[in-house]
Amino acid sequence: MSKQVDVVIIGAGFGGLYALHKIRQLGLKCQVLEAGDDIGGTWQWNSYPGARCDVESFQYSYSFDEDLEQEWEWRERYAAQPEILAYLRHVAQRYQLLRDVCCNSRVESAVYDEGASLWTVKTADQHYHCRFLVSAVGCLSTPNMPGIPGLDEFRGQLLHTGQWPREGVDLTGKRVGVIGTGSSGVQVISDIAGQVDQLYVFQRTPHWVAMAGNRPLGEDEKRTVKNNYRKMRAFMQQSLLGMNVAPGAKSALEVSDDERWQTYEKAWELGGPALLMSYNDLLVNMEANKTAAAFMKAKIREIVKDPAIAEALIPDEDTYPLGGRRMVQDDNYYATFNRDNVTLVDTLKHPITAITRRGINTGSGDYDLDVIIIATGFDAVTGTLKKIDIRGRDGLSIQDKWQEGPLTYLGVAMAGFPNLFMVTGPGSPSVLSNMVLSVEQHVDWIADAIAWMVRHGHVSMEASESAETNWADKVVEAARPTVLFNTRSWYHGSNIAGKPKRFLAYLGGVGPYRAECDAEQDAGYPGFQVN
């Protein structure tokens, strides 16, 4: 079967749904293709117990319609997965999006025909021909399975947090092992500890876990935010992270030890990004960073009763400065290790040697388990696009194009791939920003570019190689002064064997990034070749 549309949008998460709503308003026929059996993207797949956003719900929400902002009632400061999914379902229904979304439609290939200036997009049972291809595949949508020998041998239940069964899993009274202690592992550990019989936490490298400060939202607070939404959104658009927070005005090194400690105490109580935002140099100065790390270490030692376990939970601040990897947020994680039914297995000292029919073997012992939860993250930012056979001009494949790491212009377009636009692609603020705000900014920019082409009768638009090379340099230069640059993390692709190491997100700030995109548009797209 073959269908002709103007625009194919891949993915029905926050990005794809807004792209559909926005681009449809240009009078273009759009088709969203979604691999899953329902909308929601990340918030559909990651339905593991405890899954929760680490950006405040008021901020992690669409801003394009003031009526939507006013009518939706967020319940908690940090929304849990079911609430975010319910919000997306509400949005899909409210703007009649579902009629143009085709679920169970994994895109297998997308090939550009230069003569016809058309993309042919294939799923298992359909072909679509379209002028414009918009990728909204998400940044954390291809799960990373660890290469531990024997994974297939296990006779109990093997689950990945990023592919959690829709119907849920009853873990009551089970012996459960969790591999991985990033955001997903921490959230699931903290959530299920009180439910399971025995919980074994297989930790390779400890992460820093700050307080989230989650709580139900009061009526007064909701009213205040709703009355001030425009001002708040305007601030967020010009901010560093696309959030309603800014780094403190002072250096951590210019205040007294007492003052600094009190500031960290307040930030700890406040929760969320407050600790890292306490001073203006925590992310760019190791000495300043170590003052915050010292505070975190003291907190861990205070909360965790067994000193040996506390030490094992503390990251090495030279190799893993605070914020060098994504700071995890959770209110109960460290206290979980005071429970009798929770065991920390330090796999840095005693690596996992095998998964067997019965459970997990390590150098220090064998663990019989009913359930193994794999929380080993994602092939982030580039993994999902690279799994699709995308071929641009002259048959250039995205795998070849990105052989040494992703190359894009502004994280939104690529040389060799005309009329292909990426929502929060590599080289944009994406995962180092409030994703919903960045999604909206990209979709608005893409819709404007498409409208401009249609208005001027252009058939194709493709980033130039020089614009792309210059942008790649800017991405590196923005990251280089920060503690993120030299810390091993998925921000560089270091978590995936064989993945080229390149910093995947633009760290120059959401505000300055928006200015770059606006300037490109205002100048008539000088970084693109247009026909």
Q: Confirm or reject binding of residue 160 to ligand NA7 (CB under 6 A).
A: no
Nearest residue relative to ligand NA7 (C-beta): 182
Smallest gap from Cβ 205 to ligand NA7, in A, equals 3
The DSSP letter of residue 394 is G
- Provide the b/e sequence for 236-253 (b: ≥16 CB within 10 Å): beebbbbbbbebbeeebe
Q: Confirm or reject binding of residue 146 to ligand NA7 (CB under 6 A).
A: yes
Task: Give 187 or 285: the residue with its C-beta nearer to ligand NA7.
Answer: 187
Give the chain's radius of gyration (CA, Å).
23
Number of residues counted as binding ligand NA7 (CB under 6 A): 19
Q: Confirm or reject binding of residue 464 to ligand NA7 (CB under 6 A).
A: no
Task: Give the Cα separation of 175 and 197 in Å (integer).
Answer: 6
Out of 156, 321, 377, 527, name the contact with ligand NA7 by CB under 6 A.
377
Query: Which of these segments, 9-17, 247-255, 285-293, 372-380, binds ligand NA7 (CB under 6 A)?
Result: 372-380
* Binders in 31-50 for ligand NA7, by CB under 6 A: none
Instruction: Locate 176 and state its tokens.
Output: 């459960």
* Binders in 181-200 for ligand NA7, by CB under 6 A: 181-185
Q: Which residues contact 178 (CB under 8 A, 6 or more apart)?
A: 185, 188, 189, 199, 200, 201, 202, 372, 373, 375
Query: Which of these segments, 59-67, 179-187, 288-296, 330-338, binds ligand NA7 (CB under 6 A)?
Result: 179-187
Task: Give 180 or 418: the residue with its C-beta nearer to ligand NA7.
Answer: 180
Site string for ligand NA7, 493-512 (x = CB under 6 A): --x-----------------
Instruction: Locate 60 and state its tokens.
Output: 């992690």
198, β-bridge pairs: 175
Smallest gap from Cβ 40 to ligand NA7, in A, equals 15
Query: Among candidates 480, 529, 526, 481, which has minimal Cα distance to 503?
Result: 480
Task: Give 179 or 252: the residue with its C-beta nearer to ligand NA7.
Answer: 179
In one-letter notation, the amino acid at residue 298 is A
Strands 365-368 and 359-362: antiparallel
Task: Give 376 or 384: the residue with its C-beta nearer to ligand NA7.
Answer: 376
Smallest gap from Cβ 352 to ligand NA7, in A, equals 6
121, β-bridge pairs: 110, 128
Tell me how crowded residue 312 is: count the other CB atoms within 10 A of its CB. 18
Beta strand spans in 440-527 (E): 461-463
Site string for ligand NA7, 311-330 (x = CB under 6 A): ---------------x----
Smallest gap from Cβ 305 to ligand NA7, in A, equals 23
Query: Which of these segments, 354-362, 364-372, 374-382, 503-511, binds ligand NA7 (CB under 6 A)?
Result: 374-382
- Provide the b/e sequence for 17-35 (b: ≥16 CB within 10 Å): bbbbbbbbeeebebbbbbb
- Provide the b/e sequence for 255-270 (b: ≥16 CB within 10 Å): beeeebeebbeebbee
Site string for ligand NA7, 112-141 (x = CB under 6 A): ----------------------------x-
- What counts of helices (H) and strands (E) characterise the chain? 16, 22
What is the SS3 assignment for 280-314?
Answer: CCCCCCHHHHHHHHHHHHHHHHHHCCCHHHHHHHC
Residues that bind ligand NA7 (CB under 6 A): 140, 146, 148, 179-185, 204-205, 326, 375-378, 490, 495
